[in-house]
Structure 1
């Protein structure tokens, strides 16, 4: 059953979705970078991102929505939101609208590139609120493990379209890298956790119904 509850401020979520009827949402290699570019434009102002993985026909995100005060401040500051939303909206409405702009903007570009029409993503997109601390490290692993789970690659640590390597890098990133590494203890523990197969039975199963 789909969770369609409005996204609330200052809440951790596992966000995931796929192409309509299972259609590929990344049709060319350059689409992965474009997806992240659009994501940065529309979602970074209203949420912090901890982990992600982009697959041919679906994606996974681990985010924390920003506080009500931050979201309302951003809403009233057109210099920080590139597609400003109307005033007098609740924070949940602002979050939802930014996700809508994100999906619509990406869809329009893919449709133009591939001479297609219509929706690209299934709606509504899936969201699972995260309420237990022990869940975080396992969810990061689960998100990174997805390409191997679906048979796209033999070793998910070699997959190029996830946040795994960005967490280990010293290069600038928009991810909340320090907080992620702190969940594991340090980079060494992060790598060791990812090197060992993890029991993921306590992770809510991802279903596309």
Structure 2
């Protein structure tokens, strides 16, 4: 399988899961460490629009700002995290599936829907309130605290913070209806 090249100026859905669907995060400390590595390795080469860390997988929505360093920076992040996790968990071998997945986003509508999808992951996978989920970027958009996220740019995509919240809640209603039909 040929991997899509990360191109400068384009947005991507970056995601991966544990090998054999195993957990890649065993506790909150692991998730905080992953986020610290994300800040260390990626904030100078990508713009982060959204993220969500689940126990056995993660999602990132990013725009590539420096093509020459992007792939290596992602590799450094995932390798550093896997080494630390393996050491902590007294395990060896691969932690993530072979290559991280990357899907180039074709337009702004797809980007907005993907941001919502990523934020709704706790509802979809855990039946948890996505507005309170600690390891998603959703709450950062509602906060005044400093962040590495492209908060202003994302809020502008949704026109304003009220519409950002509304778009998420309306998609939640659709998901809830689907769950009750299953």
Matches within 5 A, 1:78-93: 91=68
Q: 1:160 aligns with which of 122, 126, 134?
A: 134
- Equivalent residue number for residue 34 of structure 1: 33
Mark the runs of 5 or more structure 1 residues left unpaired by the alignment.
69-90, 201-209
Q: Would you say 1:134 and 2:133 are equivalent positions?
A: no
Contact 1:3–1:128 (8 Å) recurs in 2: no
54-63 vs 6-15, which deviates more? 6-15
Q: Tell me the equivalent position of 2:62.
A: 63
Point out the more displaced range, 189-198 or 5-14. 189-198
- Out of 183, 201, 205, the position equivalent to 2:157 is 183
Matches within 5 A, 1:4-83: 4-67=3-66
Question: Is contact 2:4–2:103 with CA below 8 Å preserved after alignment?
Answer: no
SS of 1:158 mapped into structure 2: coil
User: Structure 2 CA distance, aligned partners of 1:95 and 1:197?
Assistant: 31
**Structure 2: which 5+ runs fail to align?**
176-182
Moved over 4 A (4+): none
TM-score w.r.t. the length of structure 1 is 0.79
How far apart in 2 are the matches of 1:103 and 1:33?
14
Query: How far apart are the structure 2 equivalents of 1:3 and 1:160?
Result: 35
C-alpha contact 2:8 2:65 (8 A) present in aligned 1: yes
TM-score, normalised relative to structure 2? 0.90
Give 1:3 shift: 6.2
Q: Are the equivalent residues in 2 in contact too, given 1:14–1:130 (CA < 8 A)?
A: yes
- What SS does structure 1 have at the residue aligned with 2:131? helix
CA displacement at 1:155 relative to structure 2: 2.1
Partners in 2 of 1:154 and 1:37 — Cα distance? 24
Higher mean alpha-carbon deviation, 8-17 vs 51-60, is at 8-17
Shift of 1:125: 0.6
Structure in which a larger fraction of residues adopt helix: 2
Q: Deviations over 1:25-59 (max 9, x none)?
A: 00122111000001111111211101000000000
What is the aligned residue count? 174
* Alignment match, 1:144: 119
Distance 1:106 1:117 in 2: 13
